Structure 1
Amino acid sequence: MTKEKAAIIDMGTNTFHLLLVELNQNGFQTLYKEKVPVKIGQGGISNDLIHPEAQNRALNALGHFRKLIDKENIKQVYAFATSAVRSAKNGKEFTQFIKDQLDIEVHVINGDQEAELIYEGVQFSGSLEDENSLIMDIGGGSVEFIIGNQHQALWKRSFEIGGQRLLDLFHYHDPILPEEIGRLMGYLDDRLTPLKEAIALYQPKRFVGASGTFDTLTDMYYASVHLSKEKGERVFHLPRIIFEAFAQKLVTLNKAQRLEIPGMIPMRVDMIVVATCLIEYILKFVDADELICSHFALKEGVISKLIKGAQLEVPVYINNSH
């Protein structure tokens, strides 16, 4: 593979990510990356709609991304939309509008495709070993679970129980009330039966969290022990006992207090409570003594496939007029 540039856009329910890279046969070099808290699910996800204000935020972010892509003269643009767009009644018209306005072809991927790309990204990070791991990626709209090892994914499934959905359904008071947590746990009990059955079958002993919430939890941990993450590090370790202490603390704090935690970022502060409750619930079924946190997720899964020369099930949009 000769050196070539690519742009990957991950239009998540909470956050839009842009990653500009130069690819070569040994890997990739990051030219630029940025994340914007678009919160496309806010105000509409529970009604399967993208709210007009969320659409405006999305277009502003994507217009900004388009300028950066053009500045680097990148022709290969891979844009993905996930849960909020795929479940929205106005999702198709929204992606068409993006195409008309900004010349960005958005590929709306299903839950299986999303889980597959997350697995690729986590595998690429070096987070997996021969022993089976349960991999978890918490989005704003959906949560993907994959059971697998460094050689293959054995089972994967996407559940529409992301942070924004759980926030809308259960987190009415701040701090969250014990009865709200109780209802949330009961809901997860009902919804996650297929996952519990898969865990019983494949017996994963390792727990790997992909990016997002897990990046923030490891940032909080590193800040608490006065360490800083090294540039280029892809895998971080969070002792389970420390995670449990964070989880117990987070449910007692209001938003202003959560924001004061070293390592917390504003774009994560609203969803961190329900996301942490969700992780706590899952850890009841996995006997792991640490959370392994992969800094790579969906975007890097796309890069991994590009490096391998694998066929991406996406339209590759190359516009030579730019």
Structure 2
Amino acid sequence: MLIIKKYAAIDIGSNAMRLLIANIVEEEGKATQFSKSSLVRVPIRLGQDAFTVGEITNENIERMIDAMKAFKLLMKVHRVEKYMAFATSAMREAYNGKEVAELIKKKADIKIEIIDGKKEAAIIASTDLKFLLKTEETYLYVDVGGGSTEFSLFDNGKMIVSKSFKVGTVRLLNGMVHDVVWLEIEKWIKTNTREYDQVTLIGSGGNINKLFKMSGKQQEKPLSYMYINAQYTTLNSLTYEQRISDLGLNADRADVIIPAVKIYLNAMKWSGARNIYVPKIGLSDGIIKAMYYGKI
């Protein structure tokens, strides 16, 4: 007997908000299948508010309410039976973040949970990451967001250590990441990876996904450090307008992609990684799976 369920995940990030609607297919004697039914991304850059003035502005509050009302209607049309909405660093750091979440609950009837970096990393780990890990190898998982980056080290298929740092694309664009933060990240990566002979990166986030798509590679193939470095040089040589017109980047991607690539490059350099794998996983996928398996 075949049973199909529909779950949804809302990810309220620092650079954009996403609604993922997934089909969950259960069949006796077979592993549960998860597939994307719909993905909607709204480029509301909350981090620009939260990290510079410390609050979500009235304009963006109204945009958030409109987006959430639309998400609510889309979930209704898709007949979603269960959903969860999580907000990360921008909402966490805005002094009116909780107030905004309460207003959205009142206006759009969507409950938002504001989570910390540790929980964010744990939810992402609920994805198929464990199936991607070859137990005899060591991986540094790097998830780059607008406000923070989560680093998790895996060895023999198990998470060894994880840490969230306040370095993200929107913060970097606004010159809000001091050298001491980079030094802390360098020290953390080198200290935790030095005992391993070889480390491979796993990258997640919209920017590394876009870079991977531009490479034209098959999903199971990694990107090399040399390729990432060459792309970083190319992106830096182009103006913001050229990145949009020549490379076809979205307006809200054409600026943040450069600081994102810088984070991945530094992580590769400091861990000694020569390659980075880019599976299609992220917070939204983690929310769906964590809900289904009762982890949240």
- How high is the TM-score relative to the length of structure 1? 0.82
Q: Name structure 2 gaps, 5 residues minimum.
A: 27-31
- Name 1:113's counterpart in structure 2: 119
What SS does structure 1 have at the residue aligned with 2:152?
A: strand
- Residue 11 in structure 1 maps to residue 12 in structure 2: yes
CA distance in 2, matches of 1:49, 1:149: 39
Q: Tell me: CA distance 1:71–1:150, structure 2 relative to 1, closer, same or farther (3 Å).
A: farther
- Residue 209 in structure 1 maps to residue 203 in structure 2: yes
- Name 1:242's counterpart in structure 2: 227
Alignment check: 8 A CA contact 2:235 2:258 kept: yes
- How high is the TM-score relative to the length of structure 2? 0.88
CA distance in 1, matches of 2:80, 2:280: 24
What SS does structure 1 have at the residue aligned with 2:37?
A: strand
CA distance in 2, matches of 1:105, 1:202: 43
Larger RCO (alpha carbons 8 Å, 6+ apart): 1
Amino acid at match of 1:4: K
Q: Tell me: CA distance 1:304–1:43, structure 2 relative to 1, closer, same or farther (3 Å).
A: closer
Residues 58-137 of structure 1: pairs in structure 2 closer than 5 A: 58-121=64-127, 123=129, 126-130=131-135, 131-137=137-143
CA distance in 1, matches of 2:163, 2:248: 30
For residues 264-286 of structure 1, the C-alpha deviation after alignment (integer angstroms, 9 at most, x for no partner) is 33331111111122222222112
Q: Name structure 1 gaps, 5 residues minimum.
A: 171-182, 313-322
Amino acid at match of 1:213: N
What SS does structure 2 have at the residue aligned with 1:62?
A: helix
Corresponding residue to 1:286 among 253, 264, 271: 271
CA distance in 2, matches of 1:251, 1:276: 11
Q: Tell me: CA distance 1:311–1:43, structure 2 relative to 1, closer, same or farther (3 Å).
A: closer
- Residue 264 in structure 1 maps to residue 258 in structure 2: no
For residues 35-56 of structure 1, the C-alpha deviation after alignment (integer angstroms, 9 at most, x for no partner) is 1111111233233321222222
Residues 191-206 of structure 1: pairs in structure 2 closer than 5 A: 192-201=186-195, 205-206=199-200
Amino acid at match of 1:84: A
Residues 124-203 of structure 1: pairs in structure 2 closer than 5 A: 126-130=131-135, 131-149=137-155, 151-169=157-175, 187-190=181-184, 192-201=186-195
CA distance in 2, matches of 1:266, 1:236: 28
What's the CA shift for 1:12?
Answer: 0.9
Q: Tell me: CA distance 1:253–1:51, structure 2 relative to 1, closer, same or farther (3 Å).
A: same
CA distance in 2, matches of 1:202, 1:212: 29
- Residue 277 in structure 1 maps to residue 277 in structure 2: no
Identity across aligned pairs (percent)? 27
Alignment check: 8 A CA contact 2:5 2:81 kept: no
What SS does structure 2 have at the residue aligned with 1:61?
A: helix
Alignment check: 8 A CA contact 1:147 1:156 kept: yes
Q: Tell me: CA distance 1:265–1:127, structure 2 relative to 1, closer, same or farther (3 Å).
A: farther
How big is the alpha-carbon RMSD for the aligned residues of Structure 1 and Structure 2? 2.3
- Name 1:318's counterpart in structure 2: none
Of 71-80 and 259-268, more deviation after overlay is shown by 259-268
Alignment check: 8 A CA contact 1:19 1:299 kept: yes
- Name 1:178's counterpart in structure 2: none
For residues 50-71 of structure 1, the C-alpha deviation after alignment (integer angstroms, 9 at most, x for no partner) is 1222222222221211110111
- Name 1:40's counterpart in structure 2: 46
Alignment check: 8 A CA contact 1:40 1:58 kept: no
Q: Tell me: CA distance 1:201–1:61, structure 2 relative to 1, closer, same or farther (3 Å).
A: farther
For residues 232-252 of structure 1, the C-alpha deviation after alignment (integer angstroms, 9 at most, x for no partner) is x5x552222111111122222
CA distance in 2, matches of 1:244, 1:127: 24
CA distance in 2, matches of 1:203, 1:141: 31
What's the CA shift for 1:258?
Answer: 1.7
- Moved segments of 4+, more than 6 Å: none
What SS does structure 2 have at the residue aligned with 1:158?
A: strand
Amino acid at match of 1:49: E
What SS does structure 2 have at the residue aligned with 1:294?
A: coil
What's the CA shift for 1:192?
Answer: 4.7
- Residue 305 in structure 1 maps to residue 290 in structure 2: yes
Amino acid at match of 1:75: E
Q: Tell me: CA distance 1:57–1:150, structure 2 relative to 1, closer, same or farther (3 Å).
A: farther
